[in-house]
């Protein structure tokens, strides 16, 4: 590593001398070492005690979902803070927040694959897992907020004795199609990505049960070249399909608002602004998860500062789009010359719930977008960890501001009301954090968190040297 | 079906992808056709050496997508116009712009499922048993860090002694017989 030169400054081995950037993978790894590093987390016989502790705490918090939903089914949605005119509350806020978080996983696995951003390989698998668990948390809310959750299957078009069919002109019906497609494709993409790694785990496992289970999950994968070519084609196609899908999902969700004739919702900027916000919060969540995981499982060689730096850059970019969206909302409130738009914005900023708006500006705009320009802070692990929480709080407030402050003071002052969440709202929301963490901990223990086959492709020894490393080998034609 | 007996092929193990691709190219030149490479990650050069280019996965995906868009759009039209006509604020029953969105989602859903399951089906998976797993060194390396070339016994040019001699001139770690 140390080359003889006239002046040798102290060089971080992680920094590539040619580009001055942090390396995507620490030098000195080979096929075997990355396999052992990643596979070892899953195949170890010694589960870390902290994992059990985390699982128990997460399971405890997740009880909030079970208790909350049980009470909801028994009593009805009157236990929530929703009322007229604030008919939408925590359920829709949490739904949009969680599904937005999921978007970064698909962005990383699909869009960055199409753009050949190979640094994504290290974070792709757990970002996809994050997507699926976030969609699980998100998907619950529309089902339970319909009032009679036990008949929520009525949302789907299925032949029934009532001869009733869904109403396809409603954005809420579009939601059903968008979110169910998103969940299905995300799970399939995630599973397809894991098949070769299941093969590796099957071959490296020592426990008979692990061999059996991973063997079944691998479908008998044997790494045949013809299989690999079809596999790569299918992955690329899935990436190509997931890209318009992920953009459409949050677009459809923004239609839930934009199609309604309500000041603060009825705007054409919503689709791009929702998608950018989704990716912004999703990358924040990837950081929230990646930073403790790389520390706990000693994966600093594979999830390097380069990854954190790049993710912070994506956050800066999408954060600026979000800031533009906020700016445009304010501008249009004035430029539209609509009395209702103007009042909505004034009320949002200076009304009784103005604190939420300024909280949003502080957490989503002021703190990240002023500091992420600094490379020093972008590679400061502790700072990024704290910031990732701040941004996700900010993105939650964004949805709160959009949903609540547009609704509670609408056109007719005599119908004005307010919105106050109840303890059941909070219980179910906090419960979903526990559910998400619980699922994620199970994933970290039993499934390969980093795609081994994709990491192998990033190592220098992957390259096939052309034109004869073995030129002295003479091959005689056998007649 | 009674289990097939006898030899499946000869399996050569290599340490680097370069050696594997070179051996594959030479085997192809020597006239071998029924052969397969096994690698721990996709090696495109090995596919080129095998002259394996096009796959039918994109076609399956396209057909799936077309099926999705047609199914969704026709379903929406039938339900909204004939099966359960509803007057929603005076909008036409055949509100095709609104129908595009679920149809768009189902295009992606069907195309994605077709690509994924089509790939699995075209690969002949799930196939939990395969003769190459019988080779003692296969499972230790093929999914971790070794590169394998298998010349199969069904090839007309295959001969246990000559093919073994052919494979042994390459820097292979080992050449082993694989039984059914």
Q: What is the ipTM of this complex?
A: 0.93
Rounded to 10°, the helix A225-258/A171-204 angle is 150
Q: What percent of chain A has pLDDT over 90?
A: 46
Residue A5, pLDDT > 60, answer: no
pLDDT computed for residue A234 by the predictor:
93
Task: Return d(Cα A252, Cα A255) in angstroms, integer.
Answer: 5
A 243-282 residues inside an 8 A Cβ radius of B: 244-245, 248, 252, 255
What is the pLDDT confidence band of residue A83, given thresholds at 50, 70 and 90? confident
Interchain CB contact of B43 with A (< 8 Å): yes
pLDDT in tens, A435-468: 999 999 999 999 998 888 888 888 888 888 775 5
Residue A212, pLDDT > 50, answer: yes
What is the pLDDT confidence band of residue A7, given thresholds at 50, 70 and 90? low
* Helix/strand/coil for B31: coil
The answer to whether the CB atoms of B50 and A202 lie below 8 A apart is: no
For strand B35-38 and strand B147-152, is the pairing parallel, antiparallel, or unpaired?
antiparallel
**Helix or strand (DSSP H, E) at B117:** helix B96-122
Task: Return d(Cα B109, Cα A238) in angstroms, integer.
Answer: 10
pLDDT computed for residue A230 by the predictor:
93
pLDDT computed for residue A393 by the predictor:
92
pLDDT computed for residue A478 by the predictor:
35
The answer to whether the CB atoms of B143 and A223 lie below 8 A apart is: yes
- pTM for this prediction: 0.89
Domain ranges within chain B, ordered by starting residue: 7-54+126-179, 57-122
From residue A72, give the alpha-carbon distance in Å to each of A77, A78, A148, A206, A432: 6, 8, 9, 46, 15
Half-sphere exposure (CA, 13 Å, Cβ side) for B144?
20
Report the candidate in A246, A237, A235 with the shortest Cα–Cα distance to residue A181. Answer: A246
pLDDT computed for residue A302 by the predictor:
85
pLDDT computed for residue A10 by the predictor:
58
Provide the sign of the torsion angle of the four alpha carbons B46, B49, B50, B56, taken in this order: positive
Domains of chain A: 31-460 (1.20.1630.10)
pLDDT in tens, A359-391: 999 999 999 988 999 888 898 999 999 999 999
From residue A67, give the alpha-carbon distance in Å to each of A60, A74, A302, A434, A436: 11, 11, 40, 13, 16
Residue A74 to chain B, least CA–CA distance (Å): 32
Residue A181, pLDDT > 90, answer: yes
From residue B169, give the alpha-carbon distance in Å to each of B7, B39, B152, B175: 21, 20, 18, 10
Residues B51-57: what's their mean pLDDT? 84
Residue B34 to chain A, least CA–CA distance (Å): 12
For an interface test with B, which of A182, A229, A463 has the most B Cβ atoms less than 10 Å from its Cβ?
A229
What is the pLDDT confidence band of residue A472, given thresholds at 50, 70 and 90? very low
Q: What is the DSSP string of A371-403?
A: HTT-HHHHT-HHHHHHHHHHHHHHHHHHHHHHH
For an interface test with A, which of B101, B132, B135, B171 has the most A Cβ atoms less than 10 Å from its Cβ?
B101
The total of other beta-carbon atoms located within 10 Å of residue A301's CB is: 18
pLDDT in tens, B76-111: 999 999 999 998 888 899 999 999 999 999 999 999
Interchain CB contact of A232 with B (< 8 Å): yes
Residue B127, pLDDT > 70, answer: yes
Task: Give the single-character DSSP code of A297.
Answer: T
Report the candidate in A456, A402, A454 with the shortest Cα–Cα distance to residue A260. Answer: A402
Residue A336, pLDDT > 80, answer: yes
Which of A12-16, A70-74, A167-171, A277-281 is predicted least confidently?
A12-16
């Amino acid at each position: 590593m140390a080359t003889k030169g006239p002046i040798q400054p102290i060089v971080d081995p992680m920094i590539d001398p040619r580009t001055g950037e942090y390396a995507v993978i620490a030098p000195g790894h080979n096929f075997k070492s990355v396999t052992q590093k990643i596979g070892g987390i899953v195949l170890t016989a010694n589960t870390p005690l902290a994992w059990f502790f985390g699982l128990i705490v997460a399971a405890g918090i997740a009880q909030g979902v079970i208790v909350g939903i049980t009470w909801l089914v028994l009593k009805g949605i009157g236990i929530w803070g929703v009322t007229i005119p604030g008919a939408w509350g925590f359920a829709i806020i949490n739904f949009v927040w969680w599904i937005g978080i999921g978007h970064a996983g698909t962005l990383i696995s699909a869009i960055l694959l199409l753009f050949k951003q190979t640094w994504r390989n290290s974070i792709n698998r757990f970002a996809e897992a994050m997507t699926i668990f976030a969609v699980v948390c998100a998907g619950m809310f529309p089902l339970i907020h319909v009032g009679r959750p036990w008949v929520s299957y009525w949302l789907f078009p299925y032949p029934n004795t009532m001869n009733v069919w869904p109403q396809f002109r409603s954005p809420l019906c579009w939601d059903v199609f968008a979110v169910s497609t998103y969940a299905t494709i995300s799970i399939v993409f995630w599973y397809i990505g894991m098949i070769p790694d299941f093969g590796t785990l099957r071959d490296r496992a020592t426990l008979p049960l692990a061999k059996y289970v991973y063997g079944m999950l691998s479908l008998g994968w044997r790494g045949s070249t013809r299989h690999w070519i079809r596999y790569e084609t299918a992955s690329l196609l899935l990436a190509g399909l997931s890209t318009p899908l992920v953009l459409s999902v949050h677009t459809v969700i923004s239609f839930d608002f934009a199609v309604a004739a309500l000041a603060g919702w009825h705007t054409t900027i919503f689709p791009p602004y929702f998608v950018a916000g989704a990716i912004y919060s999703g990358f924040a969540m990837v950081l929230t998860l990646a930073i403790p995981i790389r520390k706990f499982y000693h994966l600093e060689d594979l999830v390097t500062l380069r990854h954190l730096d790049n993710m912070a850059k994506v956050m800066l970019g999408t954060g600026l789009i979000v800031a533009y969206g906020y700016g445009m909302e304010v501008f249009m409130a004035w430029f539209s010359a609509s009395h209702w738009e103007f009042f909505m914005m004034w009320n949002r900023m200076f009304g009784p719930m103005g604190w939420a708006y300024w909280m949003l500006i502080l957490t989503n705009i002021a703190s990240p977008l002023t500091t992420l320009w600094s490379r020093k802070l972008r590679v400061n692990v502790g700072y990024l960890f704290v910031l990732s929480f701040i941004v996700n709080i900010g993105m939650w407030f964004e949805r709160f501001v959009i949903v609540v402050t547009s609704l509670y003071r609408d056109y007719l002052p005599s119908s004005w009301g307010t919105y106050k969440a109840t303890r059941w709202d909070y219980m179910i929301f906090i419960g979903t954090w526990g559910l998400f963490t619980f699922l994620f901990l199970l994933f970290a223990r039993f499934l390969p968190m980093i795609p081994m086959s994709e990491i192998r492709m990033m190592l220098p020894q992957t390259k096939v040297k052309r034109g004869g490393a073995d030129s002295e080998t003479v091959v005689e034609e056998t007649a | 079906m009674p289990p097939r007996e006898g030899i499946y092929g000869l399996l050569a193990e290599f340490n680097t992808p370069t050696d594997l691709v070179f051996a594959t190219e030479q085997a192809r030149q020597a006239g071998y056709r029924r052969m397969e490479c096994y690698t721990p990650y996709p090696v495109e050069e090995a596919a080129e050496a095998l002259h394996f280019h096009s796959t039918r996965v994109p076609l399956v995906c396209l057909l799936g997508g077309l099926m999705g868009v047609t199914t969704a759009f026709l379903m929406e039209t039938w339900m909204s116009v004939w099966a359960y006509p509803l007057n929603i604020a005076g909008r036409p029953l055949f509100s095709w712009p609104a129908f595009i969105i679920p149809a768009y989602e189902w295009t992606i859903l069907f195309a994605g499922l077709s690509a994924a399951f089509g790939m699995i089906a075209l690969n002949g998976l799930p196939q939990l048993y395969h003769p190459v797993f019988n080779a003692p060194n296969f499972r230790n390396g093929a999914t971790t860090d070794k590169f394998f070339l298998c010349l199969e016994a069904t090839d007309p040019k295959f001969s246990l002694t000559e093919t073994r001699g052919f494979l042994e001139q390459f820097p292979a770690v080992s050449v082993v017989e694989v039984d059914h």
